[in-house]
C-alpha cells in the first residue's frame, strides 16, 4: 500500500469520526428537546478500484420505532378525546349541583311539594301563598337557568369545534410543506432528518385533535390519513371547513375537501367529515356538543314538559278563592275555523266574590249543544269560533268570551269571577287534555315551547298553514353523520294528513311520521337509524295569525324537546298575583244560582297538587334515559345519575388512555430518546478512532520525512 493510500485512509478516518462526533454532540445537545429522535451513524468501507480506501459515513438515520410511534399517536388521540369530555362534564356538574344540596332539581321538586302540604293548613293566608309561589319560582328558575347554561356551554363547545378545525388545517398544511422539503433533500442524497423532527412534532399535535394513521414512504414523504383511511396528507392535502352555529340549535357538519399539493387547487367535492372522526379532541367536542349536552337538554326538557303538564292539568282543574275575574289562555296554534274535536262535557260558570254561583253554561261536545242554568239551550256549532260565539251569547251580561290569535279568554262582569270545570263523569277532552287545560286558561307554568303536544288534530283537518312556508330537517347520527336531509314546502289546501304524507315522502323511509288518535305527531326512525335524532334546521310555516309553526305545534325535533325547559317560568298572571293560585276545587255538580261553589279555605286542590309528587308519569326514551314510568323526582334523579355515569366513564377512559399514552411514549423514548451514557460512550469511541486516524497521519508524515532525509 502506498503512502498516499495510507494518508487517504487516515484522512477519511478523521472526516468520518469528526462527522460522527458531530452527530453525538447534536444528540447530547437535544437531550430535552421535544420531538427530537436520536441519530445513529452508519459507517462503511471506501472501495477504490476494488481496493479498500478508508472509511465513510454511509448514513445518519433517525431512530424511530414505527409501531410505538403509531401507538403513541393513537393513545394521544384517545386520551385527548376523553379529557375533552371530562373537562366539559366537570363544568356541567358544577351547573347541576349535587342532589340534596338545596339547589338541585330534586331538591327544588321536593321543596315545591312540601310547600303545597304546608300551605294546605291555611290556603288563604298570603304568607302560605307566597311560600308556594317562591317554591314554584325557584323550581322554574332552576330549570330555566340550567337549560340556558347548557345551551351556553353547548355554544362554547361549538366555537371550540370551529377553532379546532382551524388548527387542523394549519397543521395539515405544515406537514404537507415539510413533506416537500424532506422529499427535496432525499432526492439530493441527504436525509432531511432535521425537518423530520419538526414534522413529527406537527403530527403529534395533529393526533391530539384527530385520530390519525401515518406511513413513511421511501422518498421521505409521510402519508397521513384518518383511522378509517381518509387521506389527510400525501401528494395532496386536505382542508376542513366549518361554520359555527352562532346561537342556532341545529349544528352543521364539518366539511372535507382535498387540494392538489402542487397547485393548491381543490380537486374534490366537499363531503361530511364528522363520521370519519374516531378520536382526538375534535371528536370529544362533537360527542359532547351533540351527544352529552344534547341528551341532557332533551332529558331536562322531558322533565320540564311532564312537570308542566302535571301541574297545569291540576291547576286548570282547581280554582282560586275568590275566582279570577278573567282567564286568558296560551297560544294554542288553533284558528277560529278549526274543528272543535272535543268530546265530553265542561262548564263555564260565573261566581261572585264570595264563591256563590251566579250563572252557568254547560257545554256538551258530544251532542254539540249548551244549556244555560239548566234551562234554555243552543248549538255550539262545529268550529272554535262557533263555540266561542255560543259561550259569549250564553254568558249574556254576566261575562264575555273571545278568541284571538290562538288564545281563548273568558271574563266575568263586575266583581264576579270565572270558574271552568269539566264534568266528573264525562270530562271534556281534546288530545287527552281537559277544556281549560287544552286552552291553558289557568296554567301554572309556561315555557318557550308549548308543552301540550297532543293537539287533537285529525288527518282530515285543514293544516291552516300559509302556502309557501317550508320545513327543513336533518336526520343526524350519534357520530355527527347526516343520514338524510329533507324538506317540505306547503301548498294551499293541505290537510294535516297531506303534510304528514309529504314528510314521509321527503324522508324516503328513513323516518316515518304518523298522527295518532290524540293528535300527537310521532316520528319513528327506521331500524337502521334507531340512534339518530331529528333536527329541525328551519321552519317558516305559520298557522294563520297565530304564527305557530308546524314543528312547534307538534313538538317535532330535538330543539322542541329541549325547548320545553327554555324560559320555564311561573305564568305571569300568577307571578304578579299569588292570590290567583288555585288551591280549591269548585263544587259544580247540581249547583244552582246562589249555591256556594268555591269555599274559603278549601285546600282540596292543594292536596291534589301535592299528590303529583307520588304520581307516576310515562316518559318516552330521551337521551340516555330509556322509556319509563316514574315520578318526577325519580326522573330528575335519573338525569343526575346520567351525568354521573358519563363523568365517571369519561374520567376512567381519560385515565386509561393517558396511562396508555405515557407507556407508549416511554417505550418510544427508550428507542428514540437520547441516552446520555450511551452517547458519552459513543463519543469516547469516536474520539479514540479520530485519534487513531490522526496517528496514521503522524506516522505517514514521519515516513515522508525519513524518505526525504535519505541521501
Tell me the mean pLDDT in the region 269-291.
Answer: 93
Placement of cell 342556532 in the chain: 248
Over the stretch 631-667, which tens digit does the pLDDT of each residue have? 999 999 999 999 999 999 999 999 999 999 888 877 7
Task: Give the pLDDT band of residue 189 (cuts 50, 70, 90).
Answer: low
- What pLDDT is recorded for position 494? 97
Distances (CA, A) of 73 to 65, 202, 280, 416: 12, 11, 10, 76
Whether the per-residue pLDDT at 441 is higher than 60: the answer is yes
Q: Average of pLDDT values for 598-607?
A: 95
- Gap between the Cα atoms of 498 and 480, Å rounded: 31
Asked whether 486 and 513 are in contact (CB, 8 A), the reply is no
Supply the mean pLDDT for the chain. Answer: 91
Indicate the pLDDT class of residue 37, thresholds 50, 70 and 90.
Answer: confident
H or E stretch covering 694: helix 676-709
Name the percent of the chain lying above pLDDT 90. Answer: 72
Helix (H), strand (E), coil (C) string for 78-129: HHHHHHHHHHHHHHHHHHHCCCCCCCCHHHHHHHHHHHHHHHCCCCCCHHHH
DSSP symbol at 546 = G
Is 639:36 a contact under the CB 8 Å cutoff?
Answer: no
pLDDT of residue 67: 77
pTM: 0.88
Helix, strand counts (H, E) of the chain:
16, 25
Pick from 135, 151, 159, 160: nearest CA to 95: 151
H helix or E strand, kind and range, residue 19: helix 3-29
> Residue 143's pLDDT band (boundaries 50, 70, 90)?
very high
| pLDDT grade for 52, boundaries at 50, 70 and 90 | confident
**655: CB partners within 8 A, 6+ apart:** none
Residue spans of the domains in the chain: they are 3-62+674-709, 67-77+163-280, 325-441, 470-554
Q: What pLDDT does 393 receive?
A: 96
Binning pLDDT at 50, 70 and 90, where does residue 193 land? low
Q: 302 falls in which pLDDT band (50, 70, 90)? A: very high
> What is the C-alpha separation between 116 and 118, in angstroms, rounded?
6
Angle, vertex CA 585, rays to CA 579 and CA 588, nearest 5: 125
CA distances (Å), origin 105, targets 145, 591, 640, 697, 701:
11, 42, 9, 88, 94
Q: What is the pLDDT of residue 191?
A: 59
Q: Report the C-alpha gap between 585 and 604 in whole angstroms.
A: 6
Sign of torsion over alpha carbons 353, 358, 363, 364: positive
Residue-wise pLDDT for 501-545, tens only, equals 999 999 999 999 999 999 999 999 999 998 899 999 999 999 999
Helix (H) or strand (E) holding 159: helix 126-187
User: Is the pLDDT assigned to residue 245 strictly greater than 90?
Assistant: no
Sheet harboring 326-328: ordered strands across? 326-328, 407-412, 399-404
What CA–CA distance (Å, rounded) separates 126 from 616?
Answer: 31
Q: pLDDT-based confidence at 121, cuts 50/70/90?
A: very high
Kindly indicate the confidence band of residue 706, based on its pLDDT and cuts at 50, 70 and 90.
confident
Residues 367-384 have pLDDT tens digits of 999 999 999 999 999 999
pLDDT tens column, 327-346: 999 999 999 999 999 999 99
Residues 6+ apart with CB under 8 A from 591: 349, 357, 360, 597
Question: Which of 5-9, 90-94, 421-425 bottoms out in mean pLDDT, i.e. has the lowest?
Answer: 5-9
Amino acid 249: pLDDT: 65
C-alpha to C-alpha distance for 84 and 78, rounded to whole angstroms: 10
> How far is the C-alpha of 441 from the C-alpha of 329, rounded, in Å?
4
| 75-117 pLDDT per residue, tens | 999 999 999 999 999 999 999 887 777 889 999 999 999 999 9
Confidence (pLDDT) at 147? 95
**DSSP calls for 195-243:** HHHHHHHHHHHHHHHS-EEEEE-TTS-EEEEETT--EEESSSEEEEE--
Amino acid at each position: 500500500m502506498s503512502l498516499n493510500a495510507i494518508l487517504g485512509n487516515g484522512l477519511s478516518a478523521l472526516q468520518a469520526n469528526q462527522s460522527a462526533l458531530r452527530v453525538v454532540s447534536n444528540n447530547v445537545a437535544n437531550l430535552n428537546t421535544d420531538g427530537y429522535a436520536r441519530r445513529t451513524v452508519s459507517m462503511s468501507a471506501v472501495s477504490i478500484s476494488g481496493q479498500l480506501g478508508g472509511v465513510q459515513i454511509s448514513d445518519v438515520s433517525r431512530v424511530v420505532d414505527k409501531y410505538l410511534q403509531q401507538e403513541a399517536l393513537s393513545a394521544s388521540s384517545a386520551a385527548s378525546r376523553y379529557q375533552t369530555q371530562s373537562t366539559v362534564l366537570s363544568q356541567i356538574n358544577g351547573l347541576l349541583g349535587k342532589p340534596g344540596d338545596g339547589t338541585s332539581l330534586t331538591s327544588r321538586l321536593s321543596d315545591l311539594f312540601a310547600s303545597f302540604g304546608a300551605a294546605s293548613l291555611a290556603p288563604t293566608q298570603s304568607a302560605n301563598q307566597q311560600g308556594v309561589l317562591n317554591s314554584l319560582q325557584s323550581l322554574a328558575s332552576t330549570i330555566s337557568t340550567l337549560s340556558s347554561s347548557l345551551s351556553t356551554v353547548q355554544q362554547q363547545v361549538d366555537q371550540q369545534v370551529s377553532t379546532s378545525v382551524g388548527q387542523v388545517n394549519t397543521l395539515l398544511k405544515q406537514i404537507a410543506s415539510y413533506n416537500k422539503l424532506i422529499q427535496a433533500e432525499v432526492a439530493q442524497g441527504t436525509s432531511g432528518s432535521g425537518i423530520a423532527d419538526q414534522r413529527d412534532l406537527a403530527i403529534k399535535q395533529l393526533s391530539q385533535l384527530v385520530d390519525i394513521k401515518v406511513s413513511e414512504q421511501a422518498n421521505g414523504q409521510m402519508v397521513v390519513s384518518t383511522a378509517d383511511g381518509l387521506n389527510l396528507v400525501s401528494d395532496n392535502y386536505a382542508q376542513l371547513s366549518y361554520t359555527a352555529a352562532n346561537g342556532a340549535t341545529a349544528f352543521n357538519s364539518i366539511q372535507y375537501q382535498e387540494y392538489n399539493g402542487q397547485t393548491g387547487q381543490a380537486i374534490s367535492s366537499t363531503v361530511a367529515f364528522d363520521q370519519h372522526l374516531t378520536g382526538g379532541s375534535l371528536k370529544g367536542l362533537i360527542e359532547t356538543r351533540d351527544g352529552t349536552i344534547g341528551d341532557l337538554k332533551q332529558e331536562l326538557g322531558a322533565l320540564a314538559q311532564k312537570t308542566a303538564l302535571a301541574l297545569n292539568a291540576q291547576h286548570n282543574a282547581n280554582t282560586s278563592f275568590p275566582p279570577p275575574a278573567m282567564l286568558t289562555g296560551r297560544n294554542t296554534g288553533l284558528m277560529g275555523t278549526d274543528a272543535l274535536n272535543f268530546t265530553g262535557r265542561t262548564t263555564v260558570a260565573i261566581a261572585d266574590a264570595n264563591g256563590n254561583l251566579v250563572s252557568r253554561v254547560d257545554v256538551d261536545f258530544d251532542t254539540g249543544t249548551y244549556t244555560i242554568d239548566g234551562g234554555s239551550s243552543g248549538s255550539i256549532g262545529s268550529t272554535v269560533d262557533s263555540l266561542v260565539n255560543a259561550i259569549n251569547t250564553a254568558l249574556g251580561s254576566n261575562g264575555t268570551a273571545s278568541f284571538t290569535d290562538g288564545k281563548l279568554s273568558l271574563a266575568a262582569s263586575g266583581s264576579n269571577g270565572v270558574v271552568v270545570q269539566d264534568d266528573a263523569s264525562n270530562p271534556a277532552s281534546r288530545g287527552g287534555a281537559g277544556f281549560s287545560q287544552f286552552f291553558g286558561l289557568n296554567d301554572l307554568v309556561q315555557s318557550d315551547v308549548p308543552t301540550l303536544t297532543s293537539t287533537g288534530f285529525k288527518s282530515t283537518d285543514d293544516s291552516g298553514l300559509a302556502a309557501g312556508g317550508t320545513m327543513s330537517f336533518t336526520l343526524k347520527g350519534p357520530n355527527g353523520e347526516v343520514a338524510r336531509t329533507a324538506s317540505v314546502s306547503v301548498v294551499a289546501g293541505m290537510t294535516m294528513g297531506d303534510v304528514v304524507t309529504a314528510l314521509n315522502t321527503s324522508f324516503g323511509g328513513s323516518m316515518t311520521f304518523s298522527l295518532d288518535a290524540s293528535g300527537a305527531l310521532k316520528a319513528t326512525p327506521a331500524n337502521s337509524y334507531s340512534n339518530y335524532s331529528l333536527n329541525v334546521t328551519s321552519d317558516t310555516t305559520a298557522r294563520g295569525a297565530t304564527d305557530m309553526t308546524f314543528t312547534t305545534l307538534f313538538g317535532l325535533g330535538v330543539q322542541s324537546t329541549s325547548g320545553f325547559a327554555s324560559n320555564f317560568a311561573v305564568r305571569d298572571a300568577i307571578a304578579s298575583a299569588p292570590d290567583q293560585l288555585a288551591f280549591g276545587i269548585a263544587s259544580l255538580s247540581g249547583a244552582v244560582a246562589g249555591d256556594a261553589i268555591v269555599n274559603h279555605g278549601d285546600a282540596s286542590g292543594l292536596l291534589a297538587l301535592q299528590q303529583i309528587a307520588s304520581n307516576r308519569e310515562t316518559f318516552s326514551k330521551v337521551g340516555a334515559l330509556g322509556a319509563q314510568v316514574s315520578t318526577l323526582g325519580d326522573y330528575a334523579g335519573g338525569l343526575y345519575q346520567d351525568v354521573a355515569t358519563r363523568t365517571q366513564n369519561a374520567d376512567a377512559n381519560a385515565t386509561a388512555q393517558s396511562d396508555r399514552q405515557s407507556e407508549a411514549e416511554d417505550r418510544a423514548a427508550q428507542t428514540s430518546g437520547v441516552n446520555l451514557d450511551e452517547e458519552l460512550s459513543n463519543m469516547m469511541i469516536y474520539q479514540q478512532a479520530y485519534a487513531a486516524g490522526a496517528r496514521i497521519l503522524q506516522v505517514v508524515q514521519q515516513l515522508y520525512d525519513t524518505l526525504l532525509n535519505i541521501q
